Amino acid sequence: MHGKIGEIAAQAYLERCGYRIADANVRFGRTGELDIVAWTGKRFALSK
């Protein structure tokens, strides 16, 4: 999957696995971006 459809599928998967989505499409400066930031009680998941 690509683009927005892939991001939506990845978010849904993480939520089914017990993660909470903290943010999406987080930009760092002009070139950096994280597509998904998620967490459980003890773990963070970062997706590009």
Convert the pLDDT of each residue in 21-47 to its tens digit: 999 989 988 888 888 999 998 888 888
Average pLDDT, integer, range 2-27: 92
1 neighbors 9 (Cβ within 8 angstroms): yes
**What are the structure tokens assigned to 40, written together?**
């459980």
**What are the structure tokens assigned to 7, written together?**
């991001």
Backbone angles phi, psi at 34, to 5 degrees: -110, 130
Neighbours of 19 (CB within 10 A): 18
35 neighbors 48 (Cβ within 8 angstroms): yes
Average pLDDT, integer, range 6-30: 92
What is the pTM (predicted TM-score) of this model? 0.78
